Amino acid sequence: MTQQLPCSQTGGSAADYHIHTGNCIDILPELPEKSVKLIFADPPYNLQLKQELYRPNQTLVDGVEDTWDQFPSFESYDEFTRQWLSACRRVLADDGTIWVIGSYHNIFRVGKIMMDLGYWILNDVQWHKTNPMPNFRGVRFTNATETLIWAKKSEKQKKYTFNHHVMKQLNDGKQMTSVWQIPLCTGKERIKDENGKKPTRLRNLRHCLRG
Ligand SMILES: C[S@@+](CC[C@H](N)C(=O)[O-])C[C@H]1O[C@@H](n2cnc3c(N)ncnc32)[C@H](O)[C@@H]1O
C-alpha cells in the first residue's frame, strides 16, 4: 500500500514523498534498482523474552511481545535478516549508505550478515542512553547502549554523503565521535500507537539524516 505524506510533515513538496506500508520483503523488490540514497532500518530485535519482568514496585515492564519479533530460531531470524538486507542492497544507490540500529540481542548477527552480503561498515555508532532502564534484579550491568551500524554498499564504493561540518557544529565545534549520548524519549515526546506503546528513535534518526 502506498500513501502520500502530507507536505507539512516532510518540509518538502508533497509530490516527492510516499509512504509504502506492508512487508518490506514484498515491497522493496517493487522499487527501482539503485533508487535509494539513504536507508534507516530499525528491524525486529528478536528479543526472545522468556519470562515477564517486574520492577521493584511490582509493576510489569512493557516488553516487546509482538508476533513480528518472534522467530522460532536464530536460523529463521538470520534468513529474514538476509532477505531484507539483500532487498535493501538492490535498491541502494551506488553512492548511498544504510543505517541499521539494534541491541546486543541482534546487532552482531545483523553485522555479520551485512558483511557477508558485501556491505562495508563505516562506523558502529554507540547510542549511549543517559536515562536507561535499570537492571532491576541486579544480576548484570544496566544495559545503556544500542548500536547503529553505518555502512556503504561495498568496499570499493568511492562516493557517499557525510556532512562532516554539520556534525561538527552539532558537537560544539569538535569532530563528532561514534558515541552519541542521547536520552530515551519519555513522557509526551514518546509517540504511542493505539495500544499505548511504541518505541521511537526520532533523536537518533535526526542525527543520522543530518550526517
Ligand atoms: C524494533 S521495531 C521498530 C519501531 C520503530 N522504530 C518505531 O519507532 O515505530 C521493528 C518494526 O519492524 C516492523 N516489521 C517487522 N517485520 C517487518 C517486515 N517484514 N516488513 C516491514 N516492517 C516490519 C514492525 O512492525 C516494527 O514496527
Read off the pTM: 0.86
Mean pLDDT of 64-88: 93
How far apart are the C-alpha atoms of 130 and 183, rounded to whole Å?
Answer: 5
Q: Which atom of ligand 1 is nearest the CA belonging to 80?
A: 19
| CA 189 – ligand 1 centroid, Å | 19
Cell digits of residue 73: 530460531
| CA 53 – ligand 1 centroid, Å | 22
Q: Which residues line ligand 1 (CB under 6 A)?
A: 23-25, 42-45, 68, 198-201
Q: What pLDDT does 211 receive?
A: 80
pLDDT of 203 strictly over 90: no
Q: Which atom of ligand 1 is nearest the CA belonging to 23?
A: 20
Q: Could you write out the three-class secondary structure of 83-116? A: HHHHHHHHHEEEEEEEEEEECCCCHHHHHHHHHH
Burial class (CB in 10 A: 0-12, 13-18, 19+), 27: middle
Interior CA angle at 77 toward 100 and 42, to 5°? 25
Instruction: Tell me the average pLDDT of the chain.
Output: 87
Percent of the chain residues topping a pLDDT of 70: 81
Question: Of 54 and 145, which is predicted with more confidence?
Answer: 145
Interior CA angle at 127 toward 89 and 116, to 5°? 30
Percent of the chain residues topping a pLDDT of 90: 62
How far apart are the C-alpha atoms of 156 and 163, rounded to whole Å?
Answer: 20
| CA 44 – ligand 1 centroid, Å | 6
Q: Read out DSSP for 4-36?
A: EPPGGGTTS-GGG-EEE-S-HHHHGGGSPTT-E
How far apart are the C-alpha atoms of 162 and 151, rounded to whole Å?
Answer: 12
Interior CA angle at 29 toward 23 and 35, to 5°? 115
Q: Which atom of ligand 1 is nearest the CA belonging to 43?
A: 10
Q: Which atom of ligand 1 is nearest the CA belonging to 101?
A: 1
Q: What pLDDT does 189 receive?
A: 64
pLDDT of 66 strictly over 70: yes
Residue type for position 29: P
Residues 6+ apart with CB under 8 A from 99: 38, 39, 40, 41, 148, 149, 150, 208
For the chain, the straight-line distance linking the first and the last C-alpha, in angstroms and rounded, comes to 30
Pairing state of beta strands 120-128 and 179-181? Answer: parallel
Name the range with the highest mean pLDDT among 13-22, 51-60, 137-146: 137-146
